[in-house]
């Protein structure tokens, strides 16, 4: 990969992994989904100012719809699912479940067509993805509710995990057909309409002046930067490589918690950390063949 991709990927992982330390002044203002909808709207409208007019034509309407649907599946739907899973599935358990995304991506690519070079190459990444998942499961204390709602939300989260994995592959293909400004405009506006529309249907929209002002914060700026970085990396990085972030980010968070809290090390913690680091590293650096494998769903 180009050095610019490595830098962008590292910045994204560090920014997301340390998000717990970023002040969230807007937490007492608007509901979370409305906050995110407004932020996506800002991203989309800003990008729209730089989008090329010639590209925005009727004959590309279907491509816009596909890109918007894939973007909502990757960004918006998981946000809605995570919000309504609160209280039923703890945040730590949700993070562990999303570590399944690399497994989903590898399996989707490997089963995407005839057994050619790219499918055989994709299968080489399955063991690293499973190793990283196993390492995270050793590190995180998983808790699940035994109530019917708990099991229902668990199933919904698993469905969202599958959707995110497949949407990342679609976005890799779709985003490369657009100029970046046009692509980020579609991503931002589509998710803004989805999240604000969902909030309105649920009657959770609170257009308070103080709440709107609270969106302007350092935490909001970090969220906007994440959206730009994720969209660009989805466009430029192979899906399996980019899926490694679901292992690298928890690894950084775990290491930070070790430094801050200084817990006593155990064999289980050490083995889990090694597996998580090895799985994420192999997804990033393992070569499937003499040439970089082009991964796609067909």
Domain locations in the chain?
A: 30-285
CB atoms within 10 A of CB 212: 16
On whether the CB atoms of residues 17 and 253 are closer than 8 A, the answer is yes
Q: What is the mean pLDDT of the chain?
A: 84
pLDDT per position as a tens digit, 124-175: 899 999 999 999 999 887 777 778 888 899 999 999 999 999 999 999 999 9
Instruction: Choose between 282 and 295: higher pLDDT.
Output: 282
On whether the CB atoms of residues 110 and 119 are closer than 8 A, the answer is yes
pTM: 0.87
Q: Which residues contact 296 (CB under 8 A, 6 or more apart)?
A: 109, 112, 118, 169, 172, 173
């Amino acid at each position: 990969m180009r050095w610019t991709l490595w830098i962008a990927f590292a910045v994204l992982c560090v920014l997301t992994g340390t998000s717990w330390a970023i002040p969230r002044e807007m937490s007492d203002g608007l509901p979370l989904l409305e906050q995110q909808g407004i932020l996506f709207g800002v991203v989309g409208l800003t990008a729209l100012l730089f989008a090329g007019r010639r590209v925005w034509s009727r004959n590309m309407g279907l491509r816009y719809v596909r890109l918007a649907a894939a973007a909502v599946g990757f960004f918006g739907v998981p946000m809605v699912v995570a919000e309504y899973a609160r209280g039923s599935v703890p945040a730590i358990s949700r993070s562990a479940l999303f570590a399944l995304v690399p497994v989903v991506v590898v399996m989707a690519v490997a089963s995407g067509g005839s057994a050619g070079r790219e499918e055989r190459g994709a299968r080489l990444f399955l063991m690293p993805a499973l190793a990283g998942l196993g390492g995270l499961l050793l590190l995180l204390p998983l808790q699940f509710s035994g109530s019917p709602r708990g099991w229902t939300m668990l199933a919904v989260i698993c469905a969202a995990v599958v959707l995110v994995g497949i949407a990342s592959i679609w976005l890799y293909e779709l985003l490369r057909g657009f100029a970046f400004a046009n692509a980020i405009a579609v991503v931002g506006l589509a998710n803004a309409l989805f999240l604000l529309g969902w909030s309105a249907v649920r009657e959770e929209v609170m257009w308070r002046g103080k709440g709107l002002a609270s969106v302007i914060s350092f935490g909001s700026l970090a969220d906007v930067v994440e959206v730009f970085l994720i969209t660009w990396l989805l466009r430029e990085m192979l899906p399996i490589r980019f899926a490694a972030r679901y292992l690298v980010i928890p690894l950084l968070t775990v290491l930070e918690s070790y430094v801050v809290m200084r817990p006593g090390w155990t064999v289980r913690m050490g083995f889990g950390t090694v597996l998580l680091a090895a799985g994420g590293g192999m997804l990033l650096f393992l070569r499937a063949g003499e040439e970089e494998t082009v991964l796609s769903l067909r």
